[in-house]
Amino acid sequence: MTMIDFSASAELFPARSWKARSRGISYKRFSDAAEAVRFAIEELPPECLLGTYLEVEEERFDSRGIRRLYDSANFPRKAPAAKPKRAKRA
């Protein structure tokens, strides 16, 4: 599988289906590819991901390619949010 520079800028082109258009999903540009991949997998409805493609440094990835990038060991994961500490009662 081709690895990409996850810090490179990326463009996400949504599917041309009526489902994507009816949900207001349109072309998006991201300053880094990691955010684009994360958005595609975590934010897009699954039915809108099919037909969507990602372009990073003139290389294109379809929905399966986007999923492989997200699942790869090289994908930069966000650290889990810290739980707020509870105040101790006296």
The answer as to whether 1 is a domain residue is: no
The answer as to whether 80 is a domain residue is: no
What pLDDT, on a 0 to 100 scale, did the predictor assign at position 18? Answer: 52
Token pair for residue 24?
């207001």
Domain limits for position 55: 10-71
Query: How many folded domains does the chain comprise?
Result: 1
The answer as to whether 46 is a domain residue is: yes
Tens of pLDDT along 12-70? 998 765 555 555 677 899 999 999 999 999 998 888 888 899 999 999 999 999 999 99
Q: Which pTM was predicted?
A: 0.77
Cα dihedral: 28, 43, 37, 59 (round 10) = -50
What's the rounded mean pLDDT across residues 65-89?
78
Strands 10-13 and 53-56: antiparallel
The answer as to whether 14 is a domain residue is: yes
The answer as to whether 87 is a domain residue is: no
The answer as to whether 5 is a domain residue is: no
Token pair for residue 23?
């949900």
What pLDDT, on a 0 to 100 scale, did the predictor assign at position 32? Answer: 94
The answer as to whether 82 is a domain residue is: no
Using the predicted structure, report yes or no on whether residue 86 has a pLDDT greater than 70: no
36 phi, psi to nearest 5 deg: -65, -45
Using the predicted structure, report yes or no on whether residue 11 has a pLDDT greater than 70: yes
